[in-house]
Amino acid sequence: MKKHLLFLGAPGAGKGTQAQLLSQNNSYLHLSTGELLRKEIEMNTYLGRTVKDIINRGELVSDELVLKIVRHNLEKENKGWILDGYPRNLSQANSLNEVLLELKQPLDVVFYLDIPEEVLIKRLLLRGRKDDTEETIRTRVNIYKKTTEPLIQYFKDLSLLEYINADRDLKTISYEIKQKMA
Ligand code: ADP
């Protein structure tokens, strides 16, 4: 059974939904950098105030800051973990690699949720989160294409990539992921 998982895909591809389902079923830690940052904003912490404007513009928070959050959470005792929303660029992928070597917790699989751009834009507009306005979505999708998409090839080269067609209903997708986890 694979226990160190990563979800890759555009905003709105369904990473959060699938990662949450899977983490509940397996008692794995669900580590969503976006979710953690949003909580900090909600609680109006120092960190939250630092990242609020960046997130609401749809831009990326600094690599250093998200790395700290990720390291802190992975150091905790857990049965397994699912990374969602991290890494988002090559520099973050390299940092993650170093942390995982240090912690002796090698990545087992990367699920790449693939979805056509027009479908994800529709999904995001329906979701209506605070950072889901039309302009912010455009920024996020552009950043995704430019900086995150190259990670598909990066993980393919490491023979870790599992392709998932994410333009299907939730249950079909989670069934396929479950099979590929065995
Ligand atoms: P989505 O999957 O819809 O893009 P997330 O919840 O993953 O949403 O992320 C929301 C926002 O949080 C991002 O637009 C970005 O500003 C910030 N964020 C999340 N993860 C990272 C990361 N790894 N590096 C930098 N910024 C991040």
Prior bond of 87 cis (ω within 30°)? yes
- Cβ atoms of 109 and 5 within 8 Å: the answer is yes
Mean model confidence pLDDT for the chain: 96
* Cα 48 to middle of ligand 1, angstroms: 13
The rounded distance, in Å, linking the Cα atoms of 145 and 152 is 11
In the Cβ-directed half-sphere of 151, how many Cα atoms lie within 13 Å? 27
Which residue's CA is the closest to the ligand 1 atom numbered 2? 11
What pLDDT is attached to residue 66?
98
Ranges in the chain, pLDDT < 70: none
> Given the CA of residue 58, which atom of ligand 1 is nearest to it?
14
Q: Which residues line ligand 1 (CB under 6 A)?
A: 11-12, 15, 33-35, 37, 54-55, 58-61, 66, 85-86, 88, 92, 140
The rounded distance, in Å, linking the Cα atoms of 62 and 70 is 13
Q: Where are the alpha helices (DSSP H) in the chain?
A: 15-26, 33-42, 46-57, 63-74, 90-103, 117-127, 134-143, 150-157, 170-181
Count the neighbouring beta carbons within 10 Å of the beta carbon of residue 49: 11
Residue 24 Rama label (left phi>0; alpha psi -120 to 50; beta): alpha
In the Cβ-directed half-sphere of 104, how many Cα atoms lie within 13 Å? 1
What pLDDT is attached to residue 179?
96
> Given the CA of residue 13, which atom of ligand 1 is nearest to it?
2
> Given the CA of residue 129, which atom of ligand 1 is nearest to it?
3
The rounded distance, in Å, linking the Cα atoms of 20 and 87 is 17
* Cα 91 to middle of ligand 1, angstroms: 15
* Cα 148 to middle of ligand 1, angstroms: 11
The rounded distance, in Å, linking the Cα atoms of 147 and 53 is 20
Residue among 37, 47, 65, 145 whose CB has most ligand 1 atoms within 8 A, to mutate: 37
* Cα 87 to middle of ligand 1, angstroms: 10
What pLDDT is attached to residue 77?
87
